[in-house]
Amino acid sequence: MKEAIVADGPKVQIIDSPIPSPNDDQVLIRVIVSGCNPKDWKLPGMMPDKPPLNQGDDIAGIVEKVGSRVWEFKPGDRVAAFHEMLTPHGSWAEYAVAWQHTTFHIPKETSFEEAAALPLAAMTAAVGLFSRLGLPEPWVKAVSDEERQNTPLVIYGASSAVGYYALQLAKRSNIHPLICIAGRAGGERIAPLLDQDKGDVLIDYREGEQAVVEGIKKALNGRPLLHALDAVSEKGTPEHLAQVLSQPVKKGDKEVRAKATFVLFGKMGVPDFVEQSTTLVGSVHQDEKDFGYVWYRYMARGLQEGWFKAQRTEVLPGGLAGVQEGLERLKDGKASAVKYVYRIQETEGVERSEE
pLDDT tens-digit map of 1-55: 999 999 999 999 999 999 999 999 999 999 999 999 999 999 999 988 899 999 9
Cβ atoms of 165 and 311 closer than 8 Å: yes
Please report which confidence band the pLDDT of residue 354 belongs to, taking 50, 70 and 90 as the band edges: low
CA distance linking residue 200 with residue 292, whole number of Å: 28
Residue 323 vs residues 10, 33, 177, 316, 332: alpha-carbon distances, Å: 10, 12, 38, 8, 14
What does the pLDDT look like over 313-331, one tens digit per residue? Answer: 999 999 999 999 999 999 9
Looking at domain 124-282, its CATH architecture is 3-Layer(aba) Sandwich (3.40)
2-110+310-346 and 124-282 share one fold: no
Q: Which DSSP string corresponds to 177-242?
A: -EEEEE-TTIIIIIGGG--GGGT-EEEEGGG-HHHHHHHHHHHHTT----EEEESS--TTHHHHHH
Residue type, position 31, single letter: V
- Domain residue limits, the chain: 2-110+310-346, 124-282
The domain covering 2-110+310-346 belongs, at the CATH homologous superfamily level, to Medium-chain alcohol dehydrogenases, catalytic domain (3.90.180.10)
Tell me the angle at which helices 161-172 and 119-126 cross, rounded to the nearest 10 degrees. Answer: 50
